[in-house]
């Protein structure tokens, strides 16, 4: 166990690191140190230069980017005044610094067995040691069962959560001294994220220096010893998490009881809905789910990844065709999407995660957003455009940004554009599926304010799907918890948070506050998550 005294010599030193692409400064005189056994976090909104700075440790930069400054890892000079040094080529990547990318699923070669890649990397970096033993050790460190079964599998034979572990095992088998993790908590539900935090803390205790890139302040607060805040490529603050990060702000409640008088029939009524993946009822994902959504209300749907939340949303949106049971809009059954009338399409809108592929790459985003109002509400092009720009502005996207093509927008910006695209239809029911996961705090607040306005002015009812119970408690007047396709608990946010009855609800409540959860003794035995 290494001590955490600041007098320890740093393993990696970064001083005055600057990155230029043409006239644009991506990084401006960035400096930080990494120490053995300690977690340093690079924090900042997307586009602040976190990844550029991290890749500089590997002696890597994008095409057309010029690095200067000083980066030293161990005894290797990686970057000097003239850019990346020749020394950086050998013995640095993998052996000294290993990088774990943001979407580890696509970082695994579909043609290679897990064990073969691990053994290859082990032989490459540690030819003297037995490769199989190193591979087994890396699998154990990444919390995967070591053994022939795991080693013989191909990446597609693992679940999404396991693939992340396989990618982690690949970095660990190189036995690096520095581990760089790029947004490791993206896309994880809160319970799985809590487990990940515990595992990373355990890795740091083995003496690894960890560089954590994240905009997830809760994760950083729970893990990091030292925080470096980047904004527009500059270090704006650094220090202990409590000093460098803004105080933890709970999502302010924008919830209010539905304005519709009691007794009025709900605008959306889901009755005994069951859905399956394959024809003839094989692969069931939802079992007899029912919920009512009054006009102007917000119903939250909570659950882990793989619990059937998104399938429920897709059934309401008419995109999941293999279901039985009914979805009623004002008492009339809604058919699947391709049989809906334009008016039905307008009244039920759906915003989902991972929206990039839903935009045409060749046209400006603003044009595509405005198109909804033309198609579904019959506005003329000029009027639709004004409304679109207005709405996008309220969501924090200025006219200059949205005139670009989708490729020029970040994930969070596109997510808000997708929301605007749906809201412009003036829907009566809006289905929101994890629409805030890619957003920072400011953008989330703008989205919540806009949706509150929509409910007040237009009486739109929201069906809000999320794994984040804290967020749901802030926006919903009623919460439905789904586990394995069954509704396991329903109630008001107060009932759910204060007196959770189902096991899953208790886990979700406990995972709400990562900082508290991590200091609690039960972290090491955090619930194992099936199908994560």
Partner 1 sequence: MRGYALQRLALGAVQLALLTVLVFLLTSLLPGDAADVRNNEDATPEQVAALREQLRLDRPALERFTDWAQGVLTGDLGTSLVSGGPVLDILAESAGITLVLAAVTLVVVVPLAVLLGIVSGLREGGRLDRSVTSVTLALNAVPDFVLALLLVAGLSLQLGWLPATWVGVGAADLLGQPALLVLPVGVVAARMICLLSRQVRAGMVTVLKAEYVTQARRLGVPRRTLLLRHVLPNAAVPGIQELARVGDNLVGGVLIVEAVFAIPGVATALVRAVEARDVPTVQGLALVVAAAALLFSLAADLVCHRLVPRTEVLR
Positions that interact with partner 1 (CB under 8 A) = 58, 60, 91-95, 98-99, 101, 103, 106-112, 120-121, 124-125, 154, 156, 167, 170-171, 174
User: Which of 156, 338 has the CB closer to partner 1?
Assistant: 156
H helices present in 395-502, as ranges: 399-402, 411-423, 441-458, 469-475, 493-498
User: Which of 103, 394 has the CB closer to partner 1?
Assistant: 103
For residue 479, how many other CB atoms are within 10 A of its CB? 27
CB of 34 to partner 1, least distance (A): 17
CB of 208 to partner 1, least distance (A): 15
Alpha carbons 393 and 390: distance in angstroms, whole number: 5
CB of 157 to partner 1, least distance (A): 9
CB of 180 to partner 1, least distance (A): 9
Alpha carbons 370 and 368: distance in angstroms, whole number: 6
Alpha carbons 211 and 41: distance in angstroms, whole number: 6
For residue 103, how many other CB atoms are within 10 A of its CB? 14
Residues contacting residue 66 through CB under 8 Å, at least 6 positions apart = 19, 20, 21, 83
Alpha carbons 15 and 2: distance in angstroms, whole number: 24
Sign, Cα dihedral of 314, 466, 225, 61: positive
CB of 288 to partner 1, least distance (A): 30
Alpha carbons 472 and 525: distance in angstroms, whole number: 26
User: Which of 121, 299 has the CB closer to partner 1?
Assistant: 121
User: Which of 154, 159 has the CB closer to partner 1?
Assistant: 154
Q: Are the C-beta atoms of residues 473 and 498 closer than 8 Å to each other?
A: no
CB of 233 to partner 1, least distance (A): 22
User: Which of 117, 267 has the CB closer to partner 1?
Assistant: 117
Q: Which residue has the tokens 């803004």?
A: 246
Give the Å distances, CA to CA, from 365 to 353, 369, 484, 526: 17, 6, 37, 42
User: Which of 92, 298 has the CB closer to partner 1?
Assistant: 92
Q: Per residue in 413-445, is it b (16+ CB within 10 Å) or e — as a string?
A: bbbbbbbbbbbbbbbbbbbbbbbbbbbeeebbb
CB of 82 to partner 1, least distance (A): 22
User: Which of 150, 466 has the CB closer to partner 1?
Assistant: 150
CB of 110 to partner 1, least distance (A): 5
User: Which of 179, 446 has the CB closer to partner 1?
Assistant: 179
For residue 95, how many other CB atoms are within 10 A of its CB? 18
């Amino acid at each position: 166990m290494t001590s955490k005294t600041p007098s320890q010599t740093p393993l990696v030193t970064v001083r005055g690191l600057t990155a230029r692409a043409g006239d644009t400064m991506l990084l401006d005189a960035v400096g930080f140190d990494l120490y053995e056994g300690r977690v340093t976090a690079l924090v900042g909104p997307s586009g602040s230069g976190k990844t550029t700075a991290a890749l500089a440790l590997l002696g890597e930069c994008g095409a057309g980017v010029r690095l200067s400054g000083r980066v030293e890892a161990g005894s290797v000079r990686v970057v000097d005044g003239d850019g990346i040094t020749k020394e950086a080529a050998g013995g640095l990547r993998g052996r000294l610094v290993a990088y774990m990318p943001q979407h580890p699923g696509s970082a695994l070669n579909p043609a290679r067995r897990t064990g073969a890649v691990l053994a290859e990397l082990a032989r490459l970096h540690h030819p003297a040691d037995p490769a199989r033993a190193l591979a087994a050790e890396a699998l154990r460190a990444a919390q995967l069962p070591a053994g022939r079964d795991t080693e013989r599998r191909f990446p597609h034979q693992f679940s999404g959560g396991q693939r992340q572990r396989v990618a982690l095992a690949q970095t660990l088998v190189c036995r690096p001294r520095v581990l760089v993790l790029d947004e490791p908590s993206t896309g994880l539900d809160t319970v799985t994220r809590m487990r990940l935090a515990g595992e990373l803390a355990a890795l740091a205790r083995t003496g690894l220096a960890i560089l954590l890139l994240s905009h997830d302040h809760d994760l950083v607060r729970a893990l990091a010893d030292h925080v470096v805040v980047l904004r527009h490529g500059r270090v704006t603050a650094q220090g202990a998490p409590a000093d460098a990060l803004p105080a933890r702000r709970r999502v302010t409640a924008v919830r209010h009881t539905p304005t519709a008088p009691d007794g009025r029939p709900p605008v959306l009524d889901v009755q005994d809905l069951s859905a399956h993946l394959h024809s003839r009822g094989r692969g069931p994902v939802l079992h007899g789910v029912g919920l009512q959504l009054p006009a102007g209300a917000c119903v939250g749907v909570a659950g882990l990844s793989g619990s059937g939340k998104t399938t429920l949303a897709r059934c309401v949106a008419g995109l999941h065709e293999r279901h039985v049971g009914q979805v009623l809009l004002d008492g009339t059954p809604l058919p699947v999407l391709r049989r809906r009338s334009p008016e039905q399409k307008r009244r039920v809108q759906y915003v989902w995660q991972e929206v990039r592929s839903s935009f045409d790459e060749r046209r400006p985003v603003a044009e595509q957003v405005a198109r909804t109002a033309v198609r579904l509400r019959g506005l003329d092009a000029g009027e639709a455009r004004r409304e679109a720009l207005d709405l996008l502005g309220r969501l924090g996207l200025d006219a200059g940004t949205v005139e670009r093509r989708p490729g020029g927008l970040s994930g969070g910006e596109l997510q808000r554009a997708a929301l605007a695209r749906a809201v412009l239809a003036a829907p009566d029911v809006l289905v929101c599926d994890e629409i805030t996961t890619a957003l920072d705090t400011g953008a989330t607040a703008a989205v919540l304010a806009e949706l509150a306005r929509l409910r007040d002015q237009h009486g739109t009812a929201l069906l809000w799907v999320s794994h984040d119970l804290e967020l749901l408690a802030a926006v919903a007047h009623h919460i439905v918890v789904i586990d394995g396709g069954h509704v396991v608990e329903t109630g008001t946010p107060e009932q759910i948070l204060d007196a959770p009855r189902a096991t899953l609800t208790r886990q979700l409540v406990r995972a709400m506050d990562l900082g508290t959860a991590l200091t609690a003794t039960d972290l090491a035995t955090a619930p194992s998550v099936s199908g994560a």
